[in-house]
Amino acid sequence: MISPATPRTPAGVDPKALAAVRDLVARAERPVVLTGAGMSAESGVPTFRDAQTGLWERYSPEQLATEEAFLADPALVWSWYLWRARMVRGVEPNAGHRAVAAWQERVPGLTVATQNVDDLHERAGAEVLAHLHGSLFAFRCAACDAPAEVDVTALGDDDAPGSEADLEALLREEPPVCAACGTGRIRPDIVWFGELLPAAEWDATYAALDACDLCVVVGTSGLVQPAASLPFVALGAGAPVVEVNPDVTELSSAVTHRLAGPAGLVLPAVVG
Ligand code: APR
């Protein structure tokens, strides 16, 4: 007889692998959850490998998420980030974010480190050790690095945050000039291609993985370094690594268990 506490195995997931992972989860005292864009996909935030829509069809994220792009056309890059920040404001954490938060409540030694620049883990109630690629809601001067406050709710089209109409309004915005140095432009505090990851976040994540007894990697293609190397720190430390992703990735052949399904279905089945 199936006990009421045993969740259904999501379609596509190997039941044996799910049982093995549930057992690892039940015993883990210092687990680390590493997340990428797929974690937020079911909330409605497009991943980086998804086709972009509207005006953004003409650009790849790699063309917009660079310092060169910002210097060449500050208003275009600025509006892309404001638009994304406003779009994220309009969506909610999904069942996967909530499962991670519930797991952390049960196991306070659980660490969350994310490549995502949204705040959906926090809004689900989890504490995040590291935003390895920065945040859509933090800003700084491109010249002197002074932090800056930008109220993303006060810009664009209030009636339709994240929409095409919102974008039209945002495209008229120029990045403000820094109040501290008076010359630099304000940019999102996000790690662009070719830039270094924040050292404190990187070191803290590395240390957590080196000491972990389980690592769960959710929704990342494993294509962008150095974040893609992090699961190997856990493997090197002798910890099992579980991948949660509907698609095969660069990491799949190296992991201990692969759960082939979406985060919003698989994580509640793993943790619940
Ligand atoms: N649940 C789990 N995984 C999913 C889901 C889902 N519902 N939907 C999609 N995925 C997986 C995809 O199969 C893919 O492997 O999420 C992954 C998303 O990959 P990317 O878009 O490459 O996201 P990520 O790995 O986080 O990108 C890394 O690239 O553009 C930069 O800095 C940006 O942080 C980003 C980095």
Is the residue at 67 inside a domain?
Answer: yes
Q: Which two tokens stand for residue 127?
A: 């504490």
Distance CA 244, CA 83 (A): 28
Is the residue at 243 inside a domain?
Answer: yes
Q: Which helix (H) or strand (E) holds 106?
A: helix 95-106
Is the residue at 112 inside a domain?
Answer: yes
pLDDT at 216 over 70: yes
Residue 148: how many CA atoms within 13 Å on its side-chain side? Answer: 26
pTM of the model: 0.94
User: Is 121 marked active-site?
Assistant: no
pLDDT-based confidence at residue 54 (cuts at 50, 70, 90): low
Q: pLDDT exceeding 90 applies to what percent of the chain?
A: 76
Q: Which of 48, 135, 251 to mutate to test the pocket of ligand 1 (most atoms within 8 A of CB)?
A: 48
Distance CA 156, CA 83 (A): 8
Q: Which of 168, 188, 185 is nearest to 176 (CA)?
A: 185
Is the residue at 156 inside a domain?
Answer: yes
> Greatest CA separation found in the chain?
70
- How far apart are the two ends of the chain, measured CA to CA in Å? 18
pLDDT at 171 over 90: no
Question: What is the CA(245)–ligand 1 centre distance, in A?
Answer: 9
Is the residue at 5 inside a domain?
Answer: no
Q: Is 112 within 8 Å of 121 (Cβ atoms)?
A: yes
Q: Write out the residue range of the structural domain in which residue 164 sits.
A: 15-271
| Structural domains counted in the chain | 1
The lowest-confidence range among 22-36, 47-61, 64-78, 174-188 is 47-61
Provide the CATH number for the domain around residue 177.
3.40.50.1220
Distance CA 154, CA 14 (A): 47
The lowest-confidence range among 14-28, 52-66, 161-175, 209-223 is 52-66
Q: Which of 245, 248, 267 to mutate to test the pocket of ligand 1 (most atoms within 8 A of CB)?
A: 245
The lowest-confidence range among 50-59, 75-84, 177-186 is 50-59
The active-site residue, picked from 97, 121, 131, 133, is: 133
Contacts of 239 (CB under 8 A, 6+ apart): 209, 212, 213, 214, 215
Is the residue at 2 inside a domain?
Answer: no
Is the residue at 198 inside a domain?
Answer: yes
Distance CA 138, CA 48 (A): 20
pLDDT score recorded for residue 173: 83
- What is the DSSP code string of 179-213? TTTSSSBEEEEE--TTSPPPHHHHHHHHHHHHT-S
Atom of ligand 1 nearest to the CA of 247: 13
Is the residue at 6 inside a domain?
Answer: no
> Please, what is the average pLDDT of the chain?
92
